[in-house]
Structure 1
């Protein structure tokens, strides 16, 4: 997904034993649907390798409407797309053309540079559809920032599911609860979709140093407080934490190892050096990025300023 300048999410200082910070996502309009952005935030730039966290929708598109994210570039990061409802088609400059549906995982490593687009397929657009999902960016390790770009699509049946009392845990990327996703991560990563029944208690996996819990829908109790839809709880490192679902609830657990240094972000570009960002800006402005086969008639211009 392409990013645009926006106000950052609000943060509340944590005063509990397990919660370090609570980030309340902020809604914004993006191409006909609503995105609630949680990362980056003023007081917290990332959790593990996760630099951006956007909650898309839910939104109901009328017949004839849909998503049209025009071609745009990325460098030195990986994007993860995960849908709860709906579908759209990913295309990129590697020649990939792949529909994504609920439970599937799209993992795209930008590395030295890639261009992609996301659009609703004509047959889906004709009938109208509901869209609901999560898009995230993870920073690549410094040594991997210039790797060859690649795209992976992992269908839902290939992704591990861990069962706990009252909970189904879909491991999207990395490792958690004794399971490992096939997603080709390049650093220790935690990314789990947890579906909880009302009253279910879920201990948060303690394998990874940095962890956060995001409430997609429903509500949870944690450390004596209640948190609803759109709240991200950043946990203290290695804290023994558990959450209890107030009703039927969907959560996402994100995190991993701390980054190996600061990252600079401008628009859709992420890098460990400002010089690399400037080079990417010039390359996009002057048309040096590769084009998307079958979707090269338009593009998103570089924001100025």
Structure 2
């Protein structure tokens, strides 16, 4: 799991441990195991938020852990062209590569540690697919796609796109150097990640060595989620155990803690986690397929606008996995 690494975490800025006095550690409300499924043209995913109430996830809507899978030659798969409206998609690649394009001219290649941040807003067509050389050779594929809701006032904003290369992430360390913190978006202890978001959120990928602990200050007005990408560890002051592909929902407070097991699993020595938080929007959510709106009527309008071609056209020569008449929502 390379993403972005450094030779020595001790050379990085440190995240100070919040003072014990006056700091309220967030308790663990639940730990759920993500079921397996398939997305797009058939690539395997773990449905990270399955079984968790929307009130605990707000402002997040959906998250897939894509892979981790070692493809044989000819096996890598992607998605067909599909529409989105009303939210932001965040695609974070840990291992492997994805090419992507959209109907507003955005596109490029996402690879080790890079993030593709797309604001669908009023509507956009989009595709993600492995590059041809990866289809021919096979290889390791692992990433995350996160859906972040937009407030009612921003759901009709013009679509936009931002590319965050792996080297742009803000790299931090725990005081003893035992944890590498990749800050992709938001603020932690005075440090800011490069991601620009309409909905205020914090997104972190942290790697903890065996026996290491990470304590982070956390905005009291944000929710807090910890998703285990690989390895073995625990979350919260009480040390609630976590295995790979599990999600912990945390309660209120202004700090959170994660620890790696001193006895790691046989596959990977480190404990890798995605730490998420955002300011709840607290608006009605109407979600169906690729659209996230506030009412059923707005969902119906989204499907009608898509079918009428109002969300853009597929650019000529841009990875036409499916012809326009064959588009299907995902």
> If the length of structure 1 is used for normalisation, what is the TM-score?
0.88
1:278 to 2:300 alignment = yes
Match for residue 225 of structure 2 among 212, 216, 229: 212
Question: Offset at 1:46?
Answer: 5.0
Does the alignment pair 1:25 with 2:52? no
**SS class of match (1:215):** strand
Which structure has the larger Rg over C-alpha atoms? 2
Question: Aligned with 1:70: secondary structure?
Answer: coil
Query: Which residue in 2 is equivalent to 1:106?
Result: 116
1:53 aligns with 2:68: no
Alpha-carbon shift at residue 34 of structure 1 (Å): 1.4
Aligned residue number for residue 241 of structure 2: 226
Q: 1:280 to 1:36 in 2, by over 3 A?
A: same
Task: Report if aligned partners of 1:162, 1:177 keep a CA contact under 8 Å in 2.
Answer: no
> Structure 2: which 5+ runs fail to align?
1-24, 265-269
In the superposition, relative to structure 1, how do residues 82 and 302 fare at CA in structure 2: closer, same or farther (>3 Å)? closer
Whole-angstrom CA distance in 2 between matches of 1:202 and 1:186: 28
Number of residue pairs the alignment of both structures matches: 288
The DSSP-based 3-state class of the residue aligned with 2:203 is: strand
Aligned: 1:238 with 2:260:
no
Q: Identify which of structures 1 and 2 has the higher relative contact order when contacts are C-alpha pairs closer than 8 Å and 6+ apart.
A: 2
Conserved? CA contact 2:87–2:155, under 8 Å = yes
SS where residue 83 of structure 1 aligns?
A: strand
- In 1, the alpha carbon distance for the partners of 2:56 and 2:120 equals 18
**Aligned partners of 1:45 and 1:101: how far apart in 2?**
32
User: Any conservation in 2 of the 1:47–1:254 contact (CA below 8 Å)?
Assistant: no
Partner of 1:9: none
Moved more, 176-185 or 66-75: 176-185
8 Å contact kept, 1:176–1:192: no
Which structure 1 residue ranges, 5 or more long, are not aligned?
Answer: 1-15
**C-alpha distance 302-253 of structure 1, shift in aligned 2 (>3 A):** closer
Structure-2 separation of matches of 1:67 and 1:205: 39
Q: Hey, what's the Cα distance between the residues in 2 that align with 1:174 and 1:67?
A: 31
* Structure 2 residue matching 1:241: 3-state secondary structure: strand
Q: Which one of 120, 126, 129 corresponds to residue 116 of structure 1?
A: 126
Residues 63 and 173 of structure 1, relative CA distance in 2, 3 Å threshold: same
Q: Give the structure 1 partner of residue 93 of structure 2.
A: 83
Does residue 158 in structure 1 map to residue 168 in structure 2? yes
Counterpart CA distance in 1 for 2:127 and 2:100 is 6
Q: Distance in 1 between matches of 2:232 and 2:201?
A: 25
Asked if 1:191 is matched to 2:203, the reply is yes
Q: How high is the TM-score relative to the length of structure 2?
A: 0.82
Task: Quickly say closer, same or farther: Cα 1:46–1:225, change in 2 above 3 A.
Answer: closer
